[in-house]
């Protein structure tokens, strides 16, 4: 339902790249006026953010991205009891082995477990729902970009990786990532609490 909700929001655009926003502003201006823009086309992302209109759009999209990510995160967390037993059992055994290899480093253990649960199992259906029978309709480039941005955020949270260096302009999202990581890591840990196969299937 969340994927469909994102696709149905025709005006939604979660592209948070300042340079992309800046160039779209120029294109819209030139289309509206029929004249070449006075703004230079090739500039840095830092320079793009100095444009008031770009900054306003950028801030709104950051908020929209956080809101959408939070909805997906909460839905994933609430789906604990719907996850396949096989996935949870593998995760539980993986966690036990990793705790032996990395004693006392729970965050590292849960990052690796989270890679299995979120990135390998859930992420494909988020980023490419048309390829996994989540939806049947065609996806536009903007819709696919929106899903990709949400997916990227969930991935950052699942490994507690903050935005820096080339993604410096997204550093405002780092506080949210750190807070959300606590919920996501608890979910990964809860996924590993399972019965044995014999108990689960009640094998005599």
Buried b / exposed e over 125-151, threshold 16 CB at 10 Å, is: bbbebbeeeeeeeebeeebebbbebbb
pLDDT beyond 50 at 204:
no
pLDDT score for 135: 84
pLDDT score for 101: 95
**Cα dihedral 103, 115, 5, 28 sign:** positive
pLDDT score for 188: 97
> pTM score, two decimals?
0.89
- Name the band, by pLDDT with cuts 50, 70 and 90, for residue 131: confident
pLDDT score for 83: 94
CA distance 167 to 19: 12
CA distance 36 to 54: 18
pLDDT beyond 70 at 22:
yes
Residues 30-45 have a mean pLDDT of 91
pLDDT score for 199: 53
Per residue in 75-127, pLDDT (tens digit) is: 999 999 999 999 999 999 999 999 999 999 999 999 999 999 999 999 999 99
CA distance 52 to 172: 17
Per residue in 133-162, pLDDT (tens digit) is: 788 888 899 999 999 999 999 999 999 999
Residues 160-185 have a mean pLDDT of 95
């Amino acid at each position: 339902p969340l994927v469909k909700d994102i696709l149905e929001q025709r005006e939604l655009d979660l592209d948070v790249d300042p340079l992309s926003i800046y160039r779209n502003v120029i294109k819209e201006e030139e289309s509206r006026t029929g004249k070449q823009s006075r703004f230079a086309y090739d500039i840095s992302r830092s320079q793009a953010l100095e444009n008031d209109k770009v900054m306003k759009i950028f801030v709104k999209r950051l908020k929209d991205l956080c809101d959408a990510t939070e909805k997906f995160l909460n839905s994933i967390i609430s789906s604990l009891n719907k996850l396949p037993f096989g996935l949870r059992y593998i995760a539980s055994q993986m966690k036990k082995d990793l705790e032996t290899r990395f004693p006392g480093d729970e965050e590292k253990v849960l990052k690796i477990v989270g890679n299995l649960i979120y990135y390998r199992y859930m992420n494909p259906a988020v980023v490419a729902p048309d390829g996994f029978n989540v939806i049947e309709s065609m996806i536009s480039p903007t819709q696919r970009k929106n899903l990709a941005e949400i997916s990227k955020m969930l991935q950052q949270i699942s490994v507690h990786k903050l935005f820096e260096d080339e993604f410096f302009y997204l550093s405002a999202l780092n506080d949210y990532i750190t807070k959300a990581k606590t919920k996501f890591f608890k979910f990964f840990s809860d996924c590993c609490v399972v019965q044995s196969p014999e108990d689960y299937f009640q094998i005599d």
